[in-house]
Amino acid sequence: MRDRAPFRFPGPQAILPAMTNTIAIGLAVVLAAAIAADQFAFGGVGTVWVGRAFVGLVDWIAFWH
């Protein structure tokens, strides 16, 4: 058998495009629009729920302990 180099997965830079300023601004606009829509349509209940869920996730992970 021939000696072959072991298979290596390509790094993330080979699979995903880089985060550009345009992509970052687009994501910020979408996030701001979602928060504004929640604020006007539901009084901010969804934003509070997501915040509480995130705090619960951080407590559950508790990686600093």
Question: Domain limits of the chain?
Answer: 20-61
This prediction's pTM:
0.63
Q: What is the pLDDT of residue 19?
A: 85
Residue corresponding to tokens 């550009």: 20
Q: What is the pLDDT of residue 5?
A: 65
Nearby residues of 19 by Cβ (< 8 Å), 6 or more positions away: none
For 18-64, what is each residue's pLDDT tens digit?
A: 789 999 999 999 999 999 999 999 999 999 999 999 999 999 898 76
Tokens standing for 39?
């604020």
